[in-house]
């Protein structure tokens, strides 16, 4: 479906849970976020129904995220059920990788091929610090396992934080010389209450790019603008087996090409990560509304999708208005 700003909306990100086994400082407050009650979380069959109806409105790609999606039991079976929707061409997963080693084979068998893994440091002590207790070795085993099993592409997401991991930029970039990973640098967004903790630690991707270019010229993978894959601009170091991506929601917002909707863990549909305008789908679903009625609600959300977010112009706005990421689905 095309929205009023001529964007084709075909991508749905689904937060299958707001719970997480980590507490990354830029994402969650130390004590975690208030967790949604068991009955208020969408059941898998409800998510499946929403996805089926959404494909009727033009959605062809679904990404499962959270919170940490692998903390929810039965995820692989749910993926297999999503595969029964013929219009759904792509089902992908974003995970912190902690539980990945154990789930990789099942997820692959269920049909996931594209996987994004978050890893903000290559140093065990720093990783534990930023995640408030995470074990980097579990993530590294998970990455090895998905490579062995045959997932592709394997994308590794790094949130760049000044004074924390800016000294590791070149180490991350060098990983792409010998490994077929796409290493993606994401600009830190000042979200929710967790934002305050990282005040002033934002690092623009332009700085990261300059540093990486000390290793060699970055070859743009799509003409002069970099291969655009969703919001990422993609490049390669000379002779590199992998790719380097930049996702710059703050310095270079990509709202003009945003093709996404987000389904929150409690069943609300959002047209923009950075706007708290949400439409409840769970209530109408549980009240027995028809597929046609739910489809109409989805169309209304698309019709209200804002032209752009205000993050670059007014960071205070975003700190005040936006919920925590895990509930929305990052
Ligand atoms: N738990 C999974 C994970 O960490 O990959 C999936 C959910 S997480 C909310 C999705 C992505 O959002 C991660 O790559 C994470 O680094 C990113 N993220 C969370 N808070 C962010 C923030 N304040 N700024 C930029 N990216 C953020
Ligand atoms: Fe959990 Fe992912 Fe948020 Fe880290 S970024 S706290 S792993 S949801």
Distances (CA, A) of 111 to 10, 19, 107, 155, 301: 19, 24, 6, 17, 29
Indicate the number of domains in the chain: 1
Q: What is the per-residue pLDDT for 222?
A: 67
Mutate to test the pocket of ligand 1, among 21, 159, 328 (most ligand atoms within 8 A of CB): 159
Residues comprising the chain, all counted: 330
Q: Within a domain: residue 27?
A: yes
- Nearest C-alpha neighbor of 42 from the set 23, 67, 10: 67
Å from CA of 205 to ligand 1 middle = 16
Q: What DSSP letter does each residue of 154-168 carry, written as one string?
A: EEEEEEEBTTTTGGG
CATH number reported for the structural domain that contains residue 311 in this entry: 3.20.20.70
Q: Name the pTM for this structure.
A: 0.93
CA distance 104 to 97: 10
The residue whose CB lies within 8 Å of the most ligand 2 atoms, and thus the one to mutate among 13, 17, 21, 23, is: 23
Q: Which domain holds residue 253?
A: 11-328
Ligand nearest to the CA of 20: 2
From the CA of 68, give the closest atom in ligand 2.
8
Q: Which residues of 212-232 are buried (b: 16+ CB within 10 A; e: fewer)?
A: beebeebeebeeeebeebebb
Structural domain includes residue 229: yes
> Quick one: CA dihedral 259, 320, 24, 214, positive or negative?
positive
For CA atoms 143, 145, 147, 153, the dihedral sign is negative
Q: pLDDT at position 321, please? A: 43
Q: Supply 204's token pair.
A: 């623009």
Counting ligands in written order, the one closest to the CA of 323 is 1
- Ligand 2 neighbours, Cβ below 6 Å, are 20, 22-24, 27-28, 66-68, 96, 118, 325-326
Rg from Cα positions in the chain: 19
pLDDT value at position 229? 61
- Whether residue 4 is contained in a domain is answered as no
Asked if the structure places residue 90 within a domain, the reply is: yes
Q: What is the pLDDT, as a whole number, of residue 253?
A: 73
Cα 326 to averaged position of ligand 2 atoms, centre (Å): 7
Distance between CA atoms of residues 129 and 116, nearest Å: 21
All residues at 6 or more sequence positions from 233 whose CB lies less than 8 Å from its CB, including other chains: 220, 225, 226, 227, 245, 246, 248
Q: pLDDT in tens for each of the 330 residues of the chain?
A: 888 888 899 999 999 999 999 999 999 888 877 788 999 999 999 999 999 999 999 999 999 999 999 999 999 999 999 999 999 999 999 999 999 999 999 999 999 999 999 999 999 999 999 999 999 999 999 999 999 999 999 999 999 999 999 999 999 999 999 999 999 999 998 776 556 677 788 899 999 999 999 999 999 996 545 455 678 899 999 999 999 999 988 887 778 888 999 999 999 999 988 778 899 999 999 999 999 999 999 999 999 988 876 654 344 544 444 455 666 666
- Residue 156 domain-assigned? yes
pLDDT, position 273: 80
Which residue has its alpha carbon closest to ligand 1 atom 21?
27
Q: What was the pLDDT predicted at 252? A: 75
CA neighbor of 277 nearest in space, from 294, 262, 295: 262
């Amino acid at each position: 479906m095309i929205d009023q700003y001529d964007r084709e909306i075909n991508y749905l990100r689904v937060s299958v849970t707001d719970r997480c086994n980590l507490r990354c400082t830029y994402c969650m407050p130390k004590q975690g976020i208030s967790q949604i009650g068991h009955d208020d979380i969408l059941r898998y069959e409800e998510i499946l129904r929403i996805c089926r109806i959404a494909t009727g409105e033009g959605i062809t790609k679904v990404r499962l995220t959270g919170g940490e999606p692998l903390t929810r039991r039965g995820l692989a079976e749910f993926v297999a059920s999503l595969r029964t929707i013929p219009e759904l061409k792509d089902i992908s997963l974003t995970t912190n990788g902690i539980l990945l080693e154990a789930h990789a084979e099942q997820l692959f068998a269920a049909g996931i091929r594209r996987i994004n893994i978050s890893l903000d440091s290559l140093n065990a002590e720093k990783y534990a610090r930023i995640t408030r207790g995470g074990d980097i070795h579990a993530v590294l085993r998970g990455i090895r396992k998905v490579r062995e099993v045959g997932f592709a592409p394997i994308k590794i997401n790094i949130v760049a934080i000044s004074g924390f991991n800016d000294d590791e930029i070149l180490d991350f970039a060098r990983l792409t010389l010998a490994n077929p990973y796409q290493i993606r640098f994401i600009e830190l967004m000042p979200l929710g209450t967790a934002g305050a903790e990282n005040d002033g630690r934002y690092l623009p991707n332009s700085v990261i790019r300059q540093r990486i270019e000390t290793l060699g010229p970055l070859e743009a993978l799509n003409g002069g603008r970099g291969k655009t894959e969703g919001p990422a601009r993609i490049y390669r170091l000379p002779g590199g087996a992998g790719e380097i991506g930049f996702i710059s929601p703050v310095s270079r917002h990509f709202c003009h090409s945003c093709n996404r909707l987000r389904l929150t863990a409690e069943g609300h549909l959002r047209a923009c990560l950075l706007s708290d305008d949400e439409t409840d789908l769970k209530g109408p679903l549980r009240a027995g509304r028809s597929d046609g009625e739910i489809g109409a609600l989805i169309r209304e959300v698309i019709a209200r999708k804002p032209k752009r977010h205000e993050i670059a112009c007014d960071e205070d706005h975003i700190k005040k208005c936006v919920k925590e990421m895990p509930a929305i689905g990052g």
